[in-house]
């Protein structure tokens, strides 16, 4: 299941400057994370963005989780 979810995250230099996006659509992972962190629920996001699916939101969360599972994290801002 994880592999299928992560396949929803795509990288294309011609879409959103190569940032990780959902299924080749112009929804960068960071945008979905910002919506969630602002307090929007998964249901709210899906209602506002008809072309997104529940699995897309789960893929974003899994992708973000994987990014934080690195050996070293560097501070980029004080």
Mean pLDDT of 15-30: 95
Q: Is 75 part of any domain?
A: no
Inform me whether the pLDDT recorded for 65 exceeds 90. yes
Mean pLDDT of 27-45: 98
Burial class of residue 25 (count of CB atoms within 10 Å of its CB; 0-12, 13-18, 19+): middle
Q: What percent of the chain has pLDDT over 90?
A: 82
Q: Is 26 part of any domain?
A: yes
Give the CATH number, domain containing residue 34: 1.10.10.10
3-state SS, residue 20: coil
Q: Is 74 part of any domain?
A: no
Secondary structure element (H or E) that encloses residue 21, with its range: strand 21-22
Q: Is 77 part of any domain?
A: no
Q: Is 21 part of any domain?
A: yes
Confidence of residue 71 (pLDDT cuts 50, 70, 90): confident
Inform me whether the pLDDT recorded for 12 exceeds 80. yes
Q: Note down the domain range covering 41.
A: 2-67
Based on the structure, what is the number of domains in the chain? 1
Q: Is 73 part of any domain?
A: no
Mean pLDDT of 42-64: 98
């Amino acid at each position: 299941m994880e592999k299928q979810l992560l396949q929803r995250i795509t990288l294309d230099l011609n879409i959103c400057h190569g940032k990780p996006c959902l299924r080749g659509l112009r929804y960068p992972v960071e945008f979905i994370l910002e919506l969630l962190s602002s307090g929007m629920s998964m249901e709210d996001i899906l209602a506002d963005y008809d072309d997104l699916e529940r699995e897309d939101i789960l893929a974003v969360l899994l992708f973000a989780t994987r990014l934080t599972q690195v050996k070293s994290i560097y501070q980029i801002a004080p």
